[in-house]
Structure 1
């Protein structure tokens, strides 16, 4: 690893809660999530889980190691088994999502739609409804 990648990695210690570690993973040598990358990525952070309460792990982060075991070249099932048997105190070495390419989960999250876009959509639908109503009324008038 070069220096620029090291500065974008973090070590995160989590304590397993009643619902586990509180996140889902994707990836592995048999289920690539990112093109030409067999790594293991966080796909979902579960609300109120250990990871969410800690706040440092994010969806799209690449997990490089768990309890000192490298996840590179692991199958998805093997990685899942490592997480399941990791014990109550888990140490993760993580590459933050902002630094591992643009063809995968590093794309910035979509901005939530503002209320203005909903108003615009409502206006378009209302206008379309009005036009259809006028066309219908014209057709009904001609029928008599």
Structure 2
């Protein structure tokens, strides 16, 4: 199995040491606050800059947390999941499902991701604008075939 060539989600286990400001990430999801349609799982919403998770580097935004200290997070409310993280102790063993990698190239630079996303939005805007202008020009030509009317 060559691993890195696949974009399918993979399960990973590791221990994260709690820092002075906690584990350093926010979660979303739960049976009462589904983050993904038809999925009540718990997901990493945000990695806090210079927090324990950011410094460790293995946990990424979008990862699904399957278990904490061996306790599966299936069918938990958001509040119950938060409480498990708060009471997890100093060394927290996580089992996560990494988000699938959807793009080629480096994924570590957030600025690149944001700029390419913005570039994509502007490209889409330009294409739509061009299409509207073209359709307007064609409609204009159809209803005004030859400039000013003369005595011909």
TM-score class, shorter: 0.5 to 0.7
Provide the TM-score with structure 1 as the length reference. 0.66
Alpha-carbon distance, 1:40 to partner: 0.1
Alpha-carbon distance, 1:38 to partner: 0.3
Q: How many residues align?
A: 103
In 2, Cα distance between equivalents of 1:15 and 1:21: 7
Map of 1:80 onto structure 2:
82
CA deviation vs aligned residue, 1:87-142 (integer Å, no higher than 9, x gap):
0000000000118xxxxxxxxx983326xx6xx9xxxxxxxxxxxxxxxxxxxxxx
CA deviation vs aligned residue, 1:12-49 (integer Å, no higher than 9, x gap):
21110100000000000000000000000000000111
Instruction: Please provide the CA RMSD for this pair.
Output: 2.5
Provide the TM-score with structure 2 as the length reference. 0.62
Map of 1:34 onto structure 2:
36
Query: Structure 1 residues 49, 113: CA separation in 2 closer, same or farther (over 3 Å shift)?
Result: same
- Structure 1 unaligned regions, length at least 5: 100-108, 121-144
In 2, Cα distance between equivalents of 1:58 and 1:20: 16
SS in 1 for 2:14: strand
SS in 1 for 2:22: coil
- Structure 2 unaligned regions, length at least 5: 1-5, 102-109, 123-152
CA deviation vs aligned residue, 1:72-97 (integer Å, no higher than 9, x gap):
10000000000000000000000001
Q: Which runs of 4+ in 1 moved over 4 A?
A: none
In 2, Cα distance between equivalents of 1:44 and 1:98: 17
Map of 2:105 onto structure 1:
none
In 2, Cα distance between equivalents of 1:33 and 1:80: 15
In 2, Cα distance between equivalents of 1:93 and 1:74: 16
Map of 2:57 onto structure 1:
55
In 2, Cα distance between equivalents of 1:74 and 1:81: 11
